[in-house]
Chains A and B, each alone.
Chain A
Amino acid sequence: MSVIVTHHLTKVFPGGVRAVDGIDFEVNAGEIFGFLGPNGAGKTTTIKMLNTLIEPTSGTAVVAGFDICKNPAEVRKRIGYVAQDVGVDERATGRENLTLYGHFYRLDSKTIKKRVKEIFELVDLAGYEDKIVSTYSGGMRKRLDIAMGLIHRPEVIFLDEPTAGLDPQTRVRIWDYIRNLAKAMGVTIFLTTHYMEEADHLADRIAIIDLGKIITMGTPDELKQSISGDVVTLSLLTAEDDDHNELMRRTESALSAEPFVIGTQAVGDKLAVYVDNGESAVPSIMRLLAGQGIEVETISMARPSLDDVFLKYTGRTIRAEEGTATTFAQIRRKRIRRQQ
């Protein structure tokens, strides 16, 4: 059974930007569906349409059995929305935050009280119910944020970039909570992310979206298997007075010219080289670089990851765009906090 079905869902913003360009997909009951794409790909716009926060320009979707255009009120009763920004009231306690939402979903006070207890245990915040949220850590706030989307036991919960801006340790813990939710509550989860590992770890199925269009869809394994070939990762030996960047550039241009190389990509201070056949490519690369006077320090070969899947389908790397967005969001959040 499908919990979400979209029909050519499209959003064109004033000025003609086609943020979401006629997408079709289905999300099955009980699954974790990952919507993976770089910033500006149309993920948040899609989630906002499915949440009835903005209306599609054309096309529509059925969420939890109701059409988002014709029956937004019924949709809202059956969904939970956890936005990218932690939408909790920092000047209220956890219980107050959750109770207000319980009232919004027309639960009676007794039920709210019971569910608050349950949910705080589920997201491991028991004991913090009556503490003011501004004393919570970032990870605790995110957990409360997720909890607020669960108080009415929705059929589907939307998580927009659930771990953006969190440190790696907290991120892994949030993943655990999300996986627990899916299991404990049987809730369908629609999540957007621009972190490959997140989609890989959490999602049963993934749709890769770029420039408003779904490029490919499948289980993480299916997607990885869709790329033929291997990825060879090498690091270069740099003499002290050598310019490392310059050397990387030279290496990249030398390799790109070879017919057996599909593409190259700098990953930190290493270089990933995509090739048809890793076993024969390694000696060729070594020979070629030796001829150019470039010394290789380490070399390894692996099957492609989701990063490589993304690179193949979009011609770009998702990582390049990661840093700036997070930083801006953090600056803004800090600024807001300072003013309180």
Chain B
Amino acid sequence: MNLVADTWFQIQRHIRTQFRMPVWIFVNLFQPIVWLVLFTQVFKSLSDMPGLGGTSYLQFFAPGVVVMTVMFGSAWAGMGMLHDIDMGILSKMLATPATRGSIIMSRVIASMVMLIVQALIIFTIAVIMGVDLATGVPGVLLTILLVSMLGLGFAAFSNGLALLLRREEPLIGVITFATLPIMFLSSTMMPADLLPGWLDTVRHFNPVDYAVVGVRGLVMDGYIWSDLWRSLVVLFGWAALGTAFGTMMFRAKAE
């Protein structure tokens, strides 16, 4: 019970903090919109290519934007933890009876809440721009489940890394270094059929690809349960792995 209460009070703190930074909110809402508009312009002629089967690039790419937004957003989640370490907030908290698990859990869940709101906004804009959601509202809910698992894994890893590295420079370095390749080593930007053979193999080890495949199926094709189940299982595994890493680092490194 204490764990739930402590987590709840800290989630409030984290979300309140974010809403007190209007610029941050603005940037986070507009970035995915920029992606939707800009990328679909850049890759407009791709609509004619065989892998897309005649659908617009927007229809193909919109699920990718949802996944990308969640991945980038959650990958930076550790910066907040680092701030608390730097400002002495973490060690002060650790000297109170606050449950240990709540400190990292509240951060991860707060990131999720913000990202789910973003994902919903992207869907709304995508629909306004002409994207046709094959599975409608239930599909959006399933999408939320998929990307939440993806984001939870990334946010937990990011928090774990913050505790391990303890400084901004290396953390920023690792996140920047990792996120772009992770995105490109998937079928986020390109249909899988058009990827070179080695990349098509590599993407099967990338949680982002499972999220993209799952969400894209829901948006473009309807319920392809074989793909969906695989995505769900892999992403649950990814979330569990991230949580295990984050918790381990917290136990080992949060003095």
Contacts and interface: CB of A to CB of B under 8 A. Distances in A.
B21 to A, nearest CB: 8
A85 B88 contact: yes
B6 A104 contact: yes
Q: Residue among A54, A88, A104, A339 with the most chain B CB within 10 A?
A: A104
Contact of B91 (A53, A96, A339): A53
Q: For chain A, give the interface size range.
A: 20 to 34
Given A53-B255, A91-B17, A100-B9, A86 B88 contact: yes
A52 B95 contact: yes
Contact of B96 (A54, A84, A91, A105): A105
Contacts, number: 73
B17 A92 contact: yes
B193 interface: no
Contact of B95 (A51, A84, A85, A332): A51
B88 A90 contact: no
Q: For chain B, give the interface size range.
A: 20 to 34
A301 interface: no
Nearest to A91: B17
A88 B93 CA distance: 10
Contact of A83 (B9, B17, B91): B91
B251 interface: no
Interface stretch (A72-80, A188-196, A231-239, A261-269): A72-80
B130 interface: no
Interface string B1-37: 0100110011001001100110000000000000000
Q: Residue among A86, A87, A339 with the most chain B CB within 10 A?
A: A87
A104 B98 contact: yes
A106 interface: yes
A81 B92 contact: yes
Nearest to A151: B96
Interface string A236-279: 00000000000000000000000000000000000000000000
Contacts of A106: 2, 97
B1 to A, nearest CB: 10
B87 interface: yes
Contacts of A103: 5-6, 9
A136 interface: no
Given A85-B87, A86-B88, A89-B89, A53 B13 contact: no
A87 B86 CA distance: 9
Contacts of A82: 92
Nearest to B86: A336
B94 interface: yes
A19 to B, nearest CB: 13
Contacts of B92: 81-83, 87, 148
Contact of A101 (B5, B94, B96, B255): B96
B10 A53 contact: no
B88 A84 contact: yes
A48 interface: yes
Contacts of A81: 92, 95-96
A89 B93 CA distance: 11
Interface string A38-78: 00000000001001111000000000000000000100110
Given A53-B95, A83-B92, A92 B13 contact: yes
Nearest to B99: A104
Contacts of A332: 86
Given A83-B88, A104-B98, A148-B92, A89 B13 contact: yes
Interface of B: 2, 5-6, 9-10, 13, 16-17, 20-21, 83, 86-98, 168, 255
5 contacts: A81-B92, A87-B90, A104-B97, A336-B87, A339-B168
Interface of A: 48, 51-54, 73, 76-77, 79, 81-92, 96, 100-101, 103-106, 132, 148, 332, 336, 339
Given A87-B88, A89-B87, 4 more contacts: A53-B94, A84-B88, A89-B13, A100-B13
